[in-house]
Structure 1
Amino acid sequence: MDLALCFVHKGMYLVCAKTATSVINAQLTVFAGVLKRICRTSPNRGGSGFLINLIDSPGHVDFSSEVTAALRVTDGALVVVDCVSGVCVQTETVLRQAISERIKPILFMNKMDRALLELQIDMEDLYLTFQRIVESINVIVSTYTTDDGPMGDIQVSPAAGTVGFGSGLHGWAFTLKQFAEIYSKKFKIEPAKLMKRLFGDQFYNAKEKEMEQGWRRRLRPWV
């Protein structure tokens, strides 16, 4: 992420200056970099401001110590996975480190722009790809933790809002919660209940105007 920020967002160059040289020479992040971002809640939630400190940690296995150090001063971990390449060996290492430090991981599927524009993956295949990645992450999580452990159930699920989708290159991202809030008025259903129907073997029958379960995969509009 340091490399992307230094080149894409020129205003962030000074923030990344300490790691930029190493990143450019090695084409990877070798030190954990700290970024500060001031955000605001939506007007209907008060519009109050808050500060988020983001720590971009290296993904290479040789720099796992940087990941451990970053995890010990954070409240959560955002695990970024290429939605085209899927889960790799280092993903398991990072998840294991997060769990050992009792940090709850959140999954983010990146590079959706490449899947949609460059590779032009159709909706059904893209959904199946998302499903495989979520399942792979949860297999790793279940290997190193249990539901009755100190953190409880930390498996990720799009329907629970613990999986995000987007493109770091183009600067956009979303979770199912955002779409549930949009469609909840149309379907007259609470966003929390609608979220559970936006991922999985759930299909919308436009003719009957209702959600269905079953084999009609061509009706899936949510990917």
Structure 2
Amino acid sequence: METEGGADGPRERIVAAALRLLEEDGAEAVSTRAVSAAAGVQAPTIYRLFGDKQGLLDAVAAHGFASYLATKTATEPGDDPVQDLREGWDLHVGLGLAHPALYRLMYARTGPGSPAATAAVDVLAQHIGRIAEAGRLRVPEDRAVGLVRAVGEGTTLTLIATPEGQRDPLLATSAREAVIAAITTDAPALPDPGPVPAAAALRAALPDVDTLSAAELGVLREWLDRITAAQGGT
């Protein structure tokens, strides 16, 4: 009798089969009948393990996110957090161009609150946090994360939708540099880089502060957010 766990269990075979069909022929090819035949299982097994086709597609998206995150987190941070953001952006766009059907599923067809998508945002937020700690963030961290996500995902989906021979080879680089210019400052040459980078840097370091009460931290966090939001939004 087959077990459901393990590398060769039916769940893993079903997800692998669905992923192959997705990458070969797109999401429309991932039917219950086609997946059950490719995985060597009966259709009721798919319904029992995943509920329905959307549940199966969610599992495939989660698998894609896990593989992507394993690649991103395997890279050690460098000395320049802005350069790390550039490299992460290029890795993200490269994923989309190498696996367009999977990318569309991961970023255009999953609903909000997906655990895998949340994990991907957390990795991006860590990149942004390191930029803030270095005193080089000119906008609030949440806004920076949102801008990188919106422009990065939109750029990648635009490239995927454009025939390969018609793609602008500089589109991703231009979009990347525009976002970086909007959210970061140059490495400060003087001890005082200005109020916004200083406030953002202190805001990023608050989790390490243990000399203030929770109420005091809350007030300080609000003040710092107001500084970065008021002066960083221009």
TM class by smaller structure = 0.3 to 0.5
More helix by share: 2
Normalising by structure 2, we get a TM-score of 0.32
Which of the pair is proportionally richer in strand? 1
Greater length-normalized contact order (CA 8 Å, ≥ 6 residues apart): 2
| TM-score (ref. length: structure 1) | 0.33
